[in-house]
């Protein structure tokens, strides 16, 4: 199944064009309210776009005769688990197969299999009202998967799950999504990297970036993708050996890939580890020095992540203590040009 | 744990309950218990009671068969003139039952709108038990439609949409999601319809007439009895009431409240 | 006339027309008196008086119900019969079933759809007596609870014939045709009237009773088809 | 997007609508339009119509005032014997209206249960406009209670619990959460109650009598008129119907469906 | 406010005893279905425990006269945002203040302030039905905070939030929770470290571990806490210089803190970075060597995290490629004894 979706939804400020190849898994990233769930809604047929068209393979789903949700063979795992309150977990999961015409017994067997996949076998007989948040989410995942759709739409499947089941479930999803056309909304870089072939980044209802998952997360072009990937980004124009932002920041770096000309829009991307923190500007070296104010300190593995607005630096706990860092401290973020990756925006 | 209700609410609730229950007590106090046995087992009463139960049950079934689709269409689709249709469907509620009976006569009677058509088909509804059922259905249907539509609107459409994305066709959605979810509403609607049908009198008498065993339901019997024996009529209504309580009690006994995930 | 004197009259529904005329006449001759006429089934009316409905005069369509009121001591003195009524056969205009008399109704071969009043109500009791006197057995398709219901069936053409009072046929105008029943002449229904013991206006009440029994009342009632007692 | 309904459902829905609407058409076809003006503007009709509107509106208000607490108590608390109370409250639905009227007489009449008490207090309710309101309230109250209780159960308690954890006292919860959430149910309950009160006849006649301007409501007027002038009675019912449609239409015009987060 | 909670709820298998000191923030950790939400429900008064008692300061909330939820001055942010569908976002947030008797205008002003705190000012006029999942969650947070309760109960406050707002919101919460008695349920180690003074770990309805946040997460005693902290843990008995588990694993290490005697229950804890991965057992050195099967590989910063069941090792991408690792590969996890922290269970 190849999904082609072009849609505008004026009430939600959405205007996107998206393609998911047969068997491909696309991760949809973007800030809250970017329009991710809306895109899934349009694909599932729950929301009629103002303009645009949706095709699955070459079958047009919109147009004169709108194909209703149930005839699309898509399954949507919505942000809210929305398990049917009057059915047991087992019957919730069996709902998809039964709707596809499978007999009760066979559907239940299949449902039991899916419940086992999400480690929820012992919840089979419970009503949704008797499940914890994470348990309900797992059953909802099983229900969506059990429908064995041609197009699978998952809205934050890992939400509410505890750290102990997440890796196993990610494994399960990876296996299940193999060869199945899927769009998965996530806020987690691991989901994007492990589950998706491609990443599409939405912001304010528009696609701001897309490409192979590893590439987008290694060399993001949009601030949000950089954020998800845990990278610092300064975007502006390439001029005189540095990327200069509108706000007056200049980050020197080494352009990679196609040559940049003076004035080209470009981004400078660097890892928090590559940032050194000083109380006063280090003298005379050819480094980039960005005066910032610390907004937050948080532990990050063995280190301390020093946040200053949208930039972050990782320093050792020892260094942090020595610099006497605290929110509000004015400091200099300094980055060696060799650590800064510069490429066109 | 239930959120409960404000304490002061108990006062008007009790007042309301008293207002409904006191007259029942007054009736019970008036019943001539010694005659009750004879009265209830008289052939006329027995026939009337059985007829009432049969026709009311049939009407309730008809109300469900016709009313569930009507409520679903009103609550889940939109079409031009929907508001007007909704108001019109309510009308039998307002029409004095006697006029409702007349309206039915003008429609299905021998000289009514459809009378000739029906005549040609060899169907004669007037003065038959079928006419009783029709009259009861006519007056009871709006109750089911209105209360079910309200329940459908309150329940919302979210689960139905989820079901559709799981591949359930509209019929499956209706059967496995919509109806189970609004079951409390459907049940109370059906109870209302049954009660209204059981108590129905004016439209029945006007449209179907009143012949023992064929069209004379218990309310009609009570009304006639009252002309000669008020206490007997009161006693017989008590029978009606007891029967209704039993039927309704049995029908709603297993009405466990459904809840969303808490 | 809110602050004026009010005279409350309860009368059987079949008396509505003539009593309205009588009330008008009474108001005309009694300055400042407002006659409020409340009509209904005789049983209902008596029940209302029993339960304390404010009323000065009661006129019922049969003696049985009036006797209940008398037995309860609700009337002021003995009720007096002011009119009589007899049954007639009402048929839809044009008499589509070609009914001519009681014999047709009892003939199973004719299959006439006949409606009558139930034996519990006065007109039904009268119908039974008429049939009994003739030795015929009526096989009605419906035994109605009131004259109105019988007439309704006939007017709508649902029934081929109905047994009602002659005054009812008259009141229904063109909607039905009446066929006189010779057999019915012997079965006369009496209409009694009485002033009530609890009357707020006992004098006026008596005056109204007198008016009903007097020439004017008799005239008005005769115009409506009632017989004289 | 709405989930819609199965296509085949339209057939029974249309059948049901036709069953309700055809008789109305039949009535309209019978109305003697030429006489209508005179009939409607006659003093008797005007008095009856105004009285009907006034009393039905009052009864509806009473039904809401008493019925909302009753429904809330039934849906949101549990106490021993609740099932019995629920069934008993339904009874006026089943009681033939005439018997209902008798029951009221036996309670509030001069010789009734409370009659003497009321007499001492100088209150005489029977055969007054107040009696009309009481009769209408008695028959209409269960409609409101039943349909509102269904709506309350369907809506569930989750939002009420949330409100309580935010510090809202039960009264605040009722006013700001419960009632707004079940507004569609409350509205349809009120509409049912109003319609039932407007069409009420049997209990009114028995308990309140029929005196022009005081207790003779439009249905009573129609009933009386029918004895002599069937067409006139039909025409007058049409007036009742039109008035009801207008009132109901106005009351429910702004009934926007409420939804949970989608 | 000091919260003391002792409760059993048989239907949910809960049996906990918990104390939160005045002004303290406790993070409640635990796997799905452990009973975290149940504990919050009992504290808020939504759930009546079968046995036990709840006191706030010395005011008993259960007992003969149960104090109803509204009189407890607690606010609960439930797992499901449950915004009132008929009120705008602003009025939802103003609901708490209004219930406390604040006038409409003042309550709205206050609500606007709280909406600004969660970066949702422009959502003020929207109905919940018109909000995205993350937007609704933010409004729900604002609503709970605006109630200014004596005891604040937050159930996964950061769920559904995007990476761009999370740090700022965590900052806000940190400021707001300062000095306010709070219980916060979370699956995120950063929330626990940054927001909480103390951590309580639940498992199957029981408290399995508690202590100061930094300490519990640095030296966990329960497998789940180790998981959350991202540490490997082997628990068993101390014997012959190693912690030996029931499954036959032995991890050599250096006990810290109070001396361990032979046979004492103990845990061995070590960081994934400290684990080296070999295809074959490295010869002769005094290291611990655990034969495992790789279940999963996932990127972890610059490295690759090699998961093998409940153990994990971080290796460079280069090493992972060289070892030709893939799920299913049998490998040896090897840990130097000096990198293993051993302490009593
Ligand atoms: N029913 C609605 N009516 C109007 N606007 C809406 C509606 N639902 C959502 N929106 C708006 O449309 C935009 C896109 O919402 P959507 O739910 O697609 O966001 P999202 O990317 O899924 O966000 P999140 O990560 O928070 O779930 C948001 O600005 C939201 O406020
Ligand atoms: N209404 C209920 N009736 C019976 N059991 C329930 C009910 N709700 C929850 N449970 C069970 O009680 C246990 C504790 O549930 P709880 O919601 O407290 O878990 P939790 O720790 O919040 O989990 P999660 O992280 O998934 O939200 C679970 O096993 C759950 O299945
Ligand atoms: Mg979303
Ligand atoms: Mg939970």
pLDDT tens-digit series, residues B92-125: 877 888 888 888 988 998 888 888 888 778 778 8
Q: Quick check: is D31 in a domain?
A: no
Summarize the confidence of residues D64-76 as an average pLDDT.
Answer: 93
Question: Given an 8 Å threshold on Cβ–Cβ distance, is D1 in contact with A46?
Answer: yes
Asked if B133 contacts B63 with a C-beta cutoff of 8 angstroms, the reply is: no
**The pLDDT of residue D255 is above 50:** no
Statement: residue E282 has pLDDT above 80 = no
- What's the pLDDT score for residue C24? 92
Task: Give the model's pLDDT for residue E38.
Answer: 95
User: What's the mean pLDDT in A232-242?
Assistant: 90
Written as six digits, the tokens of E204 are: 């199957």
- Cα Rg, chain C, nearest whole Å: 19
pLDDT score of B84:
81
* Residue at D135 is within a domain: yes
pLDDT range class, residue D257, cuts 50, 70, 90? very low
φ, ψ for residue E230, nearest 5 deg: 75, 30
Q: Evaluate if residue A210 carries a pLDDT over 60.
A: yes
pLDDT, tens digit, for every residue of E77-90?
998 899 999 999 99
Contact B152, B76 (CB under 8 A): yes
**A249 pLDDT band (50/70/90 cuts)?**
confident
Residues 6+ apart with CB under 8 A from A85: A127, A128, A129, B159, B181, B258, B259, B260, B261
Q: What is the mean pLDDT of residues E209-227?
A: 91
* D to C contact (≥3 Cβ pairs closer than 8 Å): yes
pLDDT of D53 higher than 60: yes
- Highest mean pLDDT among A319-328, C80-89, E299-308 belongs to C80-89
For position A8, what pLDDT does the model report?
A: 94
pLDDT for residue D2 is more than 70: no
Residue with tokens 């005789």: C42
Per the structure block, which two tokens stand in for C72?
């309860």
Q: Which residues from chain B sit within 8 angstroms of residue D257, using beta carbons?
A: 153
Most confident among A324-328, B143-147, D208-212, E311-315 (mean pLDDT) = E311-315
* Mean predicted confidence (pLDDT) in B3-15: 84
User: What pLDDT, on a 0 to 100 scale, did the predictor assign at position D262?
Assistant: 32
A137 alpha carbon – ligand 3 mean position (Å) = 15
For residue B254, the model assigns a pLDDT of: 52
Q: Is the CB of E79 under 6 A from ligand 2?
A: yes
Give the B-side interface with E, CB within 8 Å: 1, 3-4, 261
pLDDT over threshold 80, residue A282: no
Using the beta-carbon criterion (under 8 Å), do B166 and A85 form an inter-chain contact?
no
Pocket of ligand 1 (CB under 6 A): A 11-12, 30, 32-38, 79; D 262; E 129-135, 162
User: Which of B1, B2, B5, B259 best tests the E interface by mutation, with the highest count of E CBs <10 A?
Assistant: B1
Mean of pLDDT values over B227-248 = 82
Res. D254 pLDDT band, cuts 50 70 90: low
Tell the residue nearest (CA) to atom 31 of ligand 1.
E131
In the reported structure, the alpha carbon of residue A265 is separated from the centroid of ligand 3 by a whole-number distance in angstroms of 31
Using most ligand atoms within 8 A of CB, pick from A121, A133, A135 the residue to mutate for ligand 2.
A135
Predicted confidence band of residue B200 (pLDDT cuts 50, 70, 90): confident
Asked if the model's pLDDT at residue A284 lies above 70, the reply is no
Q: Which of residues E153 and B147 earns the better pLDDT score?
A: E153
Given this model, what pLDDT does residue B260 score?
Answer: 33
* pLDDT value of position E285: 63
Assess whether pLDDT exceeds 90 at residue A90: yes
Residue appearing with tokens 């419970």: A126
Over the stretch E258-270, which tens digit does the pLDDT of each residue have? Answer: 788 888 899 999 9
Backbone angles phi, psi at D152, to 5 degrees: -60, -40
Domain E3-218 is classified in which CATH homologous superfamily? P-loop containing nucleotide triphosphate hydrolases (3.40.50.300)
Contact between E56 and E1 under an 8 Å Cβ cutoff? The reply is yes
Integer Rg of chain E from CA: 23
Which residues of chain D are at the E interface, by a Cβ-Cβ cutoff of 8 Å?
Answer: 158-159, 161-170, 172-173, 176-177, 180-181, 183, 258-262
E220 lines ligand 2 (CB under 6 A): no
Q: How far apart are CA E341 and CA E335, in angstroms?
A: 11
Q: Which helix (DSSP H) or strand (DSSP E) does residue B135 occupy? A: helix B129-155
Considering only CB atoms, which chain C residues are within 8 Å of D105?
A: 47, 51
Report domain extents, chain A. 3-218, 230-344
Closest residue CA from atom 6 of ligand 2: A130
Residues A241 and A321: beta-carbon distance below 8 Å = no
Average pLDDT over residues E18-44: 94
CA distances from D128 to B19, B20, C46, C151, D108 (A): 18, 19, 17, 31, 12
What domain range is D165 assigned to? 36-252
- Report, as an integer, the average pLDDT of D170-191: 89
Contacting residues of C for B209, CB less than 8 Å apart = 115, 141-144, 149, 153
Ligand 2, atom 25, lies closest to the CA of: E32
Q: How far is the CA of E80 from the centre of ligand 4 (A)?
A: 9
Residue C1 is predicted with a pLDDT of 39
Among A7, A10, A12, A47, which is best to mutate for testing ligand 1, by the most ligand atoms less than 8 A from CB?
A12
Reply yes or no on whether the pLDDT at D261 is more than 50: no
Whether D93 contacts B195, CB under 8 Å: yes
Query: Is D195 inside any structural domain?
Result: yes
Centroid of ligand 1 to alpha carbon of A259 (angstroms)? 39
> Does the beta carbon of E34 lie inside 6 Å of ligand 2?
yes
Phi-psi region for residue D81, left (φ > 0), alpha (ψ -120 to 50) or beta? Answer: left
pLDDT in tens, E171-194: 899 889 988 999 999 998 888 988
- Cβ D16 vs Cβ B88: under 8 Å: no
Is there a contact between A46 and B180 if contact means CB atoms under 8 Å apart? no
**pLDDT attached to residue E37:** 95
Please tell me the distance from the alpha carbon of residue E331 to that of residue E341, in angstroms, as a whole number. 23
Taking residues E124-148, report their average pLDDT. Answer: 94
Q: What percent of chain A has pLDDT over 70?
A: 99
Residue D56: what pLDDT?
94
User: What's chain E's average pLDDT?
Assistant: 90
Residues in chain C where the model's pLDDT stays below 70: 1-3
Are E80 and B261 in contact (CB < 8 Å)? yes
D160 token code pair: 């009420």
Which has the higher per-residue pLDDT, E184 or E159? E184
Which residues in chain E have their CB less than 8 angstroms from residue D158's CB? Answer: 82
Q: Which region among D26-40, D158-172, E312-326 has the lowest average model confidence (pLDDT)? A: D26-40
Task: Kindly state whether residue B26 falls inside one of the protein's structural domains.
Answer: no
Nearby residues for ligand 4 (ion, Cβ within 5 Å): A 132-133; E 37, 79
List the single residue in B126, B206, B211 with the smallest CB-CB distance to C143: B211
Residue of C nearest to B125 (CA): C158
Task: Evaluate whether residue B21 is within a structural domain.
Answer: no
- Who contacts E163 (Cβ-Cβ below 8 Å, separation ≥6)? A187, A224, A227, A228
E186 Cβ below 6 A of ligand 2: no
Return the CATH architecture of domain A230-344: Beta Barrel (2.40)
What is the reported pLDDT for A285?
63
Answer yes or no: do E167 and A307 touch at CB < 8 A: yes
Question: In this structure, how many other beta carbons lie within 10 angstroms of the beta carbon of residue A197?
Answer: 16
**Do chain B and E touch: 3 or more Cβ pairs under 8 angstroms?**
yes
The fraction of chain B above a pLDDT of 70, given in percent, is 94
Nearest C-alpha neighbor of E345 from the set E239, E212, E238, E227: E238
Whole-number Å distance between alpha carbons of A275 and A287: 10
Across the interface, whether the CB atoms of B89 and D3 are under 8 A apart is answered no
pLDDT score recorded for residue B3: 58
Is pLDDT of A287 > 80? no
Q: Which tens digits make up the pLDDT trace of A152-176?
A: 999 999 988 988 888 889 989 988 9
CATH code of the domain containing D64 = 1.10.3720.10
Residue A92 and residue A96: Cα distance in Å, rounded? 8
Please tell me the predicted confidence (pLDDT) of residue B261: 32
User: What tens digit of pLDDT does each residue of A216-230 get?
Assistant: 988 999 999 999 898
For D47, phi and psi rounded to 5 degrees? -55, -45
Share of chain A above pLDDT 90, in %: 54
The distance of B66 to chain A (nearest Cα, Å) reads 25
Chain E residues within 8 A of D170 when measuring between CB atoms: 68, 70
* pLDDT, tens digit, 9 for 90 and up, residues B124-183: 888 899 999 999 999 999 889 988 888 888 788 889 999 999 999 999 999 999 999 888
Q: What percent of chain E has pLDDT over 70?
A: 99
Which ligand 2 atom sits nearest the alpha carbon of residue E39?
18
Touching chains, C (3+ CB pairs < 8 A)? B, D
- Is D259 inside any structural domain? no
Residues C105, C112 contacting (CB under 8 angstroms): yes
Q: Is the pLDDT of residue D1 over 60?
A: no
If one counts the domains in chain D, the total is: 1
Contacts of E128 in chain D (CB under 8 A): 260-261
ipTM exceeds 0.90: no
Give the highest mean pLDDT range of A309-323, C132-146, C149-163, D63-77.
Answer: D63-77
CA dihedral sign of residues B27, B28, B34, B35:
positive
Summarised one tens digit per residue, pLDDT across range A108-127 is 999 999 999 999 999 999 99
Q: Is the pLDDT of residue E10 over 60?
A: yes
| pLDDT above 90: percentage of residues in chain B | 25
Residue A39 scores a pLDDT above 70: yes
Is B18 within the bounds of a domain?
A: no
**Which of A38, A41, A39 has the alpha carbon at shortest distance from A19?**
A39
Q: What is the mean pLDDT of residues E241-257?
A: 86
């Amino acid at each position: 199944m190849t999904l082609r979706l072009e849609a505008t939804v004026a009430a939600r400020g959405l205007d996107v064009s998206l393609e998911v190849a047969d068997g491909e898994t696309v991760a949809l990233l973007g800030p809250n309210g970017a329009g991710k769930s809306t895109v899934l809604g349009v694909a599932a047929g729950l929301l009629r776009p103002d303009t645009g068209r949706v095709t699955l393979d070459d079958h047009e789903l919109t147009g004169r005769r709108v194909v209703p949700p149930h005839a699309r063979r898509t399954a949507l795992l919505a942000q809210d688990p929305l398990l049917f309150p009057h059915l047991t977990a087992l019957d919730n999961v069996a709902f998809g197969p039964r709707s596809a015409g499978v007999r009760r017994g066979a559907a239940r067997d299949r449902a039991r299999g899916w419940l086992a996949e999400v480690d929820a076998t012992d919840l089979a007989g419970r009503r949704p009202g008797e499940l914890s948040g994470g348990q309900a989410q797992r059953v909802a995942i099983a229900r969506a998967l059990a429908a064995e759709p041609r197009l699978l739409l998952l809205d934050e499947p890992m939400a509410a799950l505890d750290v102990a089941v997440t890796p196993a479930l990610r494994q399960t999803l990876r296996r299940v999504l193999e060869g199945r056309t899927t769009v998965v909304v996530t806020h987690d870089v691991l989901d994007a990297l492990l589950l998706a072939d491609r990443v599409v980044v939405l912001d304010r209802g528009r696609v701001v970036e897309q490409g192979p998952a590893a590439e987008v997360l290694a060399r993001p072009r949009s601030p949000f993708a950089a954020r998800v990937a845990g990278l610092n980004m300064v975007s502006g124009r390439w001029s005189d050996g540095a990327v200069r932002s509108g706000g007056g920041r200049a980050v020197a770096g080494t352009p990679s890939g196609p040559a940049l000309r003076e004035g080209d829009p470009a981004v400078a991307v660097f890892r928090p580890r590559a940032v050194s923190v000083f109380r006063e500007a280090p003298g005379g070296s050819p480094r980039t020095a960005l005066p910032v104010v610390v907004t937050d300190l948080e532990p990050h593995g063995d280190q301390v992540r020093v946040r200053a607005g949208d930039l972050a630096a990782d320093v050792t706990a020892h260094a942090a203590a020595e610099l006497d860092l605290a929110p509000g401290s004015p400091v200099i973020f300094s980055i060696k040009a060799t650590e800064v990756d510069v490429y066109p925006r | 744990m239930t959120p409960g209700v404000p304490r002061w609410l108990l006062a008007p609730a009790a007042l309301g309950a008293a207002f409904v229950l006191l007259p029942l007590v007054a009736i019970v106090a008036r019943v001539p218990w010694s005659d009750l046995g004879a009265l209830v087992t008289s052939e006329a009463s027995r026939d009337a009671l059985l007829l009432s139960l049969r026709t009311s049950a049939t009407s309730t079934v008809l109300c469900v068969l016709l009313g569930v689709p009507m409520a679903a269409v009103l609550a889940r689709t939109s079409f031009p003139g929907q508001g007007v249709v909704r108001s019109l469907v309510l009308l039998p509620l307002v029409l004095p039952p006697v006029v409702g009976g007349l309206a039915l006569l003008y429609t299905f009677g021998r000289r009514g709108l459809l009378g000739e058509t029906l005549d040609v088909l060899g169907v004669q509804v007037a003065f038959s038990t079928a006419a009783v059922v029709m009259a009861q259905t006519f007056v009871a249907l709006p109750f089911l439609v209105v209360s079910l539509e309200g329940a459908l609107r309150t329940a919302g459409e979210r689960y139905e949409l989820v079901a559709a994305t799981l591949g359930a066709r509209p019929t499956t959605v209706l059967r496995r999601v919509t109806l189970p979810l609004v079951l409390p509403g459907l049940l109370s609607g059906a109870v209302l319809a049954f009660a209204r049908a059981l108590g129905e009198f004016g439209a029945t008498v006007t449209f179907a007439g009143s012949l023992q065993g064929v069209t004379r339901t218990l309310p009609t019997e009570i009304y006639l009895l009252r002309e000669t024996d008020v206490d007997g009529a009161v006693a017989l209504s008590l029978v009606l009431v007891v029967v209704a309580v039993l039927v309704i009690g049995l029908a709603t006994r297993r009405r466990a409240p459904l809840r969303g995930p808490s | 006339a809110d602050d004026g004197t009010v005279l409350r009259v309860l009368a059987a529904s079949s008396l509505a027309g003539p009593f309205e005329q009588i009330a008008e006449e009474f108001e005309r001759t009694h300055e400042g008196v407002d006659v409020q006429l409340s009509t209904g089934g005789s049983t209902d009316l008596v029940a209302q008086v029993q339960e304390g409905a404010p009323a000065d005069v009661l006129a019922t369509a049969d003696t049985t119900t009036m006797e209940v009121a008398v037995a309860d001591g609700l009337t002021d003195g003995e009720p007096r019969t002011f009119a009589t009524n007899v049954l007639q056969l009402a048929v839809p205009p044009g008499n589509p079933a070609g009914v001519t008399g009681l014999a047709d109704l009892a003939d199973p071969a004719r299959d006439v759809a006949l409606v009558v009043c139930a034996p519990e109500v006065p007109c039904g009791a009268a119908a039974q007596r008429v049939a009994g006197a003739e030795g015929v057995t009526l096989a009605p398709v419906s035994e109605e609870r009131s004259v109105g219901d019988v007439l309704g069936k006939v007017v709508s053409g649902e029934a081929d014939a109905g047994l009602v009072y002659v005054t009812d046929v008259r009141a229904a105008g063109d909607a039905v045709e009446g066929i006189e029943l010779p057999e019915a002449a012997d079965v006369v229904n009496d209409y009694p009237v009485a002033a009530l013991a609890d009357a707020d206006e006992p004098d006026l009440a008596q005056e109204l009773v007198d008016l009903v029994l007097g020439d004017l009342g008799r005239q008005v009632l005769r115009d409506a088809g009632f017989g004289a007692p």
